[in-house]
Structure 1
Amino acid sequence: MKVSIIGAGRLGATLAYTLTLKDIVREVTLIDINRNLSRGEMLDISHGISLTGHTRVRTAEYDSVKNADIIVITAGIPRKPGESRLDLNKKNVHILKDIVSNIVKYNKSAILFVVSNPVDIMTYVAYKVSGFERKKVFGMGTMLDTTRLRSAIGSYFNLNPKDVDIMFLGEHGDSMTPVFSLASINSVPLSSIPGYDKKKLEEMAEYYKTCAAEVIALKGGTIFAPAIVMAEIVESMVKDRRQIMPLSVYLEDYYGINGIYTGVPAILSKDGIEDVIKLPLNKKEIEGLKDSASIIQNAIKDLRDSGFIE
C-alpha cells in the first residue's frame, strides 16, 4: 500500500517516521507547499531506513497521489496557546478545500483520512468538496482523546491501559462527552475495580477534554501521541483488522443527529468506514452527545452563511 501525507509539518513528518518504524506500507509520500521542508524531512527519515525495513519515504507534488491508497491530510494552521480548535474553523477551511480539490484531480478512489483541525468540520468539508462516498472520508474524531483517557485510567488503576475500554464521543474539542456507563477494564466494570472513585474519574475525563491546551502552551503543539494514533489507524486499514474506533464519521439519525461528521464508534476496514455503531447510551450521555453535535452544526452553518462552503 501507498500512503500520501499532505502536510510535512511536525505532525505529518512524525507520522511518516512512525510508519517507517512500523514498516507496514510500501511507500510514504510527503507533500507540502514548502518543498524544502518536505524534502528535508524525507531525507532525514530516509537516512535510517536500512535499520527499519522496506518502507520508502519520498517527497513529491500532488500528481503523486494518483496511486495512493490512503491520503492523510494534516496540513493547516495549528492552534496557538489560548485558542480552541473551533477558532481555526475559518482559518483552515480554504486550505482544506484547496488540498481536496488538488487530490481529486489525480485520485478519486483513495481513502481520505482527515486530521486537520477542527477535524469534524474539516472532514465534512473534505466530504463535500471531494464528492467521494461517505465510507471513503473520515476524520480522527475522538480516537486521540479516547487514547489519552484510556492511558490515564490504566495508570490510575495501575493496570494495563490496553485493556481499558472507554470512549469519548462527539466533537474533537471541549464539548466531547465520555461514556462511563459502558466503561470497563478487560470486561470488568470500572466500578468493580479496587480504587474506583467516580468523582476522580469524572475529573480525569474533564481534564483530558482539554489537556492538549497544556501541551501546546508548554511545547507549542501536540505531536507524538497524535502521530501514534494516526499510525494505528493507518495500520488498522492496511491490515484490514476491522477494528471499532471512535472516528469522525457521517451521521444519519444517530440519536436524532443528522448530516454532520462527529466522533462515534465505527468499524474501520481496508475500504474505509464499514459501519457506524449506535451505542446504548444513558440519558446524560445522549444529551452530552447532542450538545456536542449542535456545536458542530452551528459551526457548519456559520461557514455556509459566510460563504465559505455551499
Structure 2
Amino acid sequence: MRLTFTIQRYNPEIDVHPHFEEYRLEVGRGLTVLEALIRIKNEQDGSLSLRYSCRSAICGSCAMEINGSEKLACRTSVRKELERHGRIVVAPLRNLPVIKDLVVDMSSFWGKIRAVTPWLLAEPSAGGDRPPGPMTLMPQSYEFHNVDACIMCGACVAACTVHEVSKEFLGPAALAKADRFLADPREPETSKRFRLKELEKDHGIWDCTRCNFCVQVCPKDVKPMEAIVRLRRAAIQRGLTATGGARHILGFADLIERQGRLNEAIMPLKVVGFDWKRLLSVIPLGIKMLLKGKVPNPLGHSIEGIEYVRSLFAAARRRVKPT
C-alpha cells in the first residue's frame, strides 16, 4: 500500500518559517512511524533530520507530534494512525525550540529537571551534602506511584497547556521527578519540607491547571498530573498554606463542609486572604456576581443532607495519616 506522509520541515539556514512537505512511501503491515521516517530519510530525502536511538520505547528520543498528539514514533503503528485519522502528519514536539525538522532543543527541559534538585537531600543545615554511610532503600518501604518509570521524552511538556503560555513553569516531568524524591524514605523530613517550600513558589506546583493532557500522552503511564496533586497535598499537610493555590483548596473544602455547596461570594475572599489590595481588586467581581445572581442568599436554609456531607469530611480526617 502506498501512503502519503506529511512532515513538517524547517532548516534555520534557509527557511523563514516551518512548512510541510509530502512523501509517498510503499508500506506494509506492522510498520511504525519511526521506521517510515527512517526509510524516507534513507530512500528519498537524506536532509530530513530526526532523533532516535533504542527503537524500543526506552530512550524517549523519538518523541514527536503525530496527527496532533505527542507520541513515541517507535511504538506508533502507521496502520492504526491511518485507521484513526485517515492520514499521517508528523511534526516536532510543541513548546520546545526547533533545531531542524523534527529535532527540538531539550536544553530548557533538562534545566527544569535540574531545578527541582533531582537527588536526595541531606539536612538543609548540612549544605545539601549526602550524610555519611550507606543510604539503603528497603523493599516495601516506599511507593513511587510509577513516577520512576519516566524516560524523559518530553511529551508531557509538549502537551502542557500551562507551559504553552508560561515558559517558566517547571512542567509535568520535573514535578513528577520531584514527587519521586519526596516519596523516598531516605530523605529527612526537614529536607522534604525544604523541597516543598521551593516547589510552592511561582511557576511551581500551584501553576498546574489539571488539564490532564500530560497523563494522556505519557508513553509510560507516569501520570504526572497525579504526582503534582500529591505534591500539593504534601505541602498542605505540612502547613505550607500561604499560597493562593493552597488557600483556594482549603477555602473550597471549608465552604462545602460548612454550607454543603460552593458560595461564590465568599470563595474569592478565601483566596486573597487579608491582602487589602487584592481585596479591593475583587470588589468589581463581587458586584458582577451579585448582578448575575451568583451570590447565594446569606439568610437561606442549609441544603438538605448537610450532616451527611460533614460526616464525609470527618471520616476523611480520620483516614489521613500523620506526617
Give the shorter-chain TM-score range. under 0.3
- Identify the structure with the greater strand proportion: 1
Larger Rg: 2
* TM-score for the superposition, normalised by structure 1: 0.25
- Identify the structure with the greater helix proportion: 1
* TM-score for the superposition, normalised by structure 2: 0.24
